[in-house]
Amino acid sequence: MELNVNQTYQMIAKVESINSGVHFCNTTVHTLDGEHVNLKLDFEQLEKISLGKVYEFTAQAIVKLEDELILKTLTIKPAEEVLSDEEMAKVLDSFYVYAPMPMLEIKKGIEKYLNKIDNNILKEVTKKIYKEHQKSFYLHPAATKFHHAYVGGLSYHTLTMLKLIDPFIEIYPYLNRDLLYAGTILHDMSKIGEISGVDGEYTKEGLLIGHLVMQTIDIDQAAKDLGYQDSEEVLMLKHMIISHHGQFNFGSPKRPQTGEALLLWFIDTMDSKFTVLGEAYQDTAVGTFTQMISVLDKMKFYKHHIK
């Protein structure tokens, strides 16, 4: 990048590395134009960036020593906060291996189910939480490893689960569709706060509290804000979230005790396992076994010849 003194530059770029010492702090970013640019930071700006994430950087070229020009960072904003959905989709294609489905298609699918919720209490609570997190929701992985551990994995996992609901209700019509749509959309939403993001790790809150409890707290707060805290709907929704890992040894504070909570656990388990199995089969020759798959009890699975 050719620099001119005192000129301001704005760029959408992905953080590649972060370096700091006693007297220096900088980051190297990869721009949409394919350039690798070093940006000087103030120490308080360090907490605003994470490795692997994309931001809008505004920087000014200033003289350091002996006429050397450097880029001094002025502002940092998460890309999802300043770009439209269409622009963000292009950025994802440029920087990441995204989920197996385009972001806009995933978003359209999830919002279709959100808008199909008829119960007013469930709809308002779910929409309030969804709107607060929707920008990050379509960028976040569902895990740091094991399943859907890639950009967009969280929302893709959620949409796949939503698609499983209606066939089950056709067979078991006593299940409540609205509870299942709301619970599925919200069940992993707090992974946004549990995991730091792309190439990220578990946050302090994630390690000490976990997304099941974090999401239950969010639902409780949203319900209070809307005046629905004492409703049966909110109680059932909180139970679904806090029990959706099914077993105590899988991190569930409670086991499922409603039909909807039970199904949420089952479809969550199904998708986390079958998606990973499908990915393993893609890298496995016909007539051979997969590598050991962690989410499937470290079993190897045979890829047969039958068509």
**How far are the Cα atoms of 53, 118, 283, 306 from residue 286, in angstroms, in the given order?**
37, 46, 10, 9
Nearest to 206 by CA among 132, 143, 125: 143
Please say if the pLDDT value at position 23 is more than 90: no
- Give pLDDT tens digits for 74-97: 999 999 899 998 898 888 888 887
Cα 241 to Cα 265: distance, rounded to the nearest angstrom: 9
Q: How confident is the model at residue 260 (pLDDT cuts 50, 70, 90)?
A: very high
SS (H, E, C) 17-64: EEEECCCCEEEEEEECCCCEEEEECCHHHHHHCCCCCEEEEEEEEEEC
pLDDT of residue 199: 61
Cβ proximity of 146 and 294 under 8 Å: yes
Cα 145 to Cα 147: distance, rounded to the nearest angstrom: 6
Q: Is the dihedral of CA 227, 233, 237, 238 positive or negative?
A: positive
pLDDT of residue 245: 92
pLDDT of residue 56: 95
Centre a 10 Å sphere on the Cβ of residue 256 and count the other Cβ atoms it contains.
Answer: 21
Cα 233 to Cα 152: distance, rounded to the nearest angstrom: 29
Under 8 Å CB-to-CB from 36, ≥6 apart: which residues?
A: 16, 28, 29, 30
Structure token digits, residue 71: 């880029």
Q: What's the gap between Cα 214 and its chain centre?
A: 15
Structure token digits, residue 87: 């622009």
Rounded mean pLDDT, 269-283? 93
Q: Is 27 left (phi over 0), alpha (psi -120 to 50) or beta?
A: beta
Please say if the pLDDT value at position 64 is more than 80: no
Classify 73 as helix, strand or coil. strand
Rounded mean pLDDT, 164-189? 97
Please say if the pLDDT value at position 145 is more than 70: no
Choose between 188 and 145: higher pLDDT.
188
CA atoms within 13 Å, Cβ hemisphere of 129? 28
The region of weakest confidence among 17-26, 170-179, 221-230 is: 17-26
What mean pLDDT, rounded, does the chain reach? 91
Cβ proximity of 99 and 150 under 8 Å: yes
